Amino acid sequence: MDLTPGTKLASTVCATEVIIVRPPSQTVALECGGAPMVAAEEAPEEGARGTVDAAHAEGTMLGKRYVHEASGLEVLCTKPGAGSLSAEGVALPLKEAKPLPSSD
Question: Residues 53-61: what's their mean pLDDT?
Answer: 93
Q: Are 20 and 67 contacting, i.e. CB atoms less than 8 angstroms apart?
A: no
pLDDT band (50, 70, 90) for residue 45: confident
C-alpha distances in Å from residue 86, one per residue of 9, 15, 57, 99, 101:
13, 15, 11, 26, 32
Query: What's at 39, amino acid-wise?
Result: A
Whether 1 is covered by a domain: the verdict is no
Given pLDDT bands bounded at 50, 70 and 90, which one contains residue 60? Answer: very high
For 49, which DSSP code?
A: -
Task: Work out the average pLDDT over 2-9.
Answer: 93
Residue 98 pLDDT level (bands cut at 50, 70, 90): confident
CA-CA distance, 59 to 47, in Å (whole number)?
A: 19
Residue 17 pLDDT grade (very low, low, confident, very high; cuts 50, 70, 90): very high
Interatomic CA distance for residues 67 and 83, integer angstroms: 16
Structural domain includes residue 104: no
Q: Is residue 25 part of a domain?
A: yes
Q: In total, how many domains does the chain have? A: 1
Domain that holds residue 69: 8-91
In a domain, 101, yes or no: no
